[in-house]
Amino acid sequence: MDQYIGLDVSLKDTAVSIREDRKRIWRSKCPSDPKVLSQIIRKHAPRAKLVVFETGPLSTWFYHALTAEGIPAICIEARHAQKVLNETLNKTDTNDADGLAQLAEAGFYKVVRVKTFDNMLTRTLVAARSLLVSISKQLSNQIRGLLKTFGLIVPKGEGRVFDANVRELLNGNSGLAVVILPLLEAWREIRKRAANLDHQLLAASRQSRATKLLMTIPGVGAVTAVSYIAAIEDPENFPTSRSVGAWLGLTTRRYQSGNIDYDGHISRRGDGRLRGLLYEAATVLLTRTTAKTECSLKTWGLKLRERLGFKRAAVAVARKLAVIMHSMLKTGEAFNPLAGATA
């Protein structure tokens, strides 16, 4: 008979539970190593039908490593699984593994698409670049704040202008310079490293036809285009373009029970970083006044802003951008300024 395996994965150990004919036939713990797990599964579950584990930090590595060993592994949505697993009387790793095996046996799970290592590398590049940019902003703000304590106001300016302004204010104040200059040197070094990652990102965008295609949309730059493609991977992963907005958490929640029926805020499910980038692109589209940004999508967004306010309009435009970008990847056609709002 078919056998179903549940894996409760942690950084150090993985709990394994094997079920057959609605009964647990074996369970144990082993190191969190896919090769060790594949040997255990072959030994104790030679008729393995399905191996299930939840999304987590190790899920990409586990999925690709186990499938490479010929193990029928799938990754399921943790939020969905936890609602069932939390109903157990005693919350332990072994009980969670057994619960996952029961979900696999019953077919009550939501499969999550696991990204390839190449796409994960791109997402890591974007995340690292965003982190360095954020740290540099925090450092510059800290330097400004510390200098204000001593009545030294740094004039507006970024990059070399900011560096020169800070050094000028520190002239003749050696005691304060000893404290601020190390922060300023760290700020310069982080900006340099962020610039290096920017160059890598731009090089990757120039080599991709799909990225160049998405960058024809006003407000969409290299970071947003590369991040979108890395998240979507293949346009065929989504049955319709409209489903991308819901996948990214840009559609409203709905609650209905008896006489109660209302729409709430957006769900904010999915990739939060990409959702933020799309919101930034929508903001640029709505606020920048140039010949390039004039399109029917902007006109539609500005009308929404008058009726609903800027934030809601920007979210709506971000959802439209996600839908339009998917449609463009699917058809291979460049952005049409006259048809943008109807996509």
Q: Tell me the per-residue pLDDT of 56-88, one tens digit each, with 9 for 90 and over.
A: 999 999 999 999 999 999 999 998 898 888 888
- The answer to whether the CB of 323 falls within 8 A of the CB of 335 is no
User: Quick one: pLDDT band at residue 296, thresholds 50, 70, 90?
Assistant: very high
User: Using CA atoms, how far apart are residues 183 and 189, in angstroms rounded to an integer?
Assistant: 10
Mean pLDDT over each residue of the chain, to the nearest integer: 92
Residue 253 has pLDDT above 90, yes or no: no
Instruction: Identify the pLDDT of residue 341.
Output: 52
pLDDT attached to residue 343? 42
DSSP state string for 174-212: HHHHHHHHHHHHHHHHHHHHHHHHHHHHHHHHHT-HHHH
Mean pLDDT of 212-229: 94
> What CA–CA distance (Å, rounded) separates 285 from 266?
21
Characterize 229-253 residue by residue with b for buried, 16 or more Cβ atoms within 10 angstroms of its Cβ, and e for exposed.
Answer: bbbbeebeebeebeebbbbbbbbee
Helices 117-148 and 272-287: angle between axes, nearest 10 degrees: 60
3-state secondary structure of 153: coil
For residues 274-292, average pLDDT:
92
Give the pLDDT score at 1: 84
Selection from 21, 3, 24 nearest residue 99 by Cα: 24
8-29 confidence digits (pLDDT tens)? 999 999 999 999 999 999 999 9
Counting residues of the chain whose pLDDT is more than 90, the rounded percentage is 83
Q: Give me the pLDDT at residue 342, please.
A: 45
Residue-wise pLDDT for 28-58, tens only, equals 999 999 999 999 999 999 999 999 999 999 9
Backbone phi, psi, residue 326, to 5°: -65, -45
pLDDT at 148: 95
Question: Which residue, chain included where needed, has tokens 């373009």?
Answer: 241
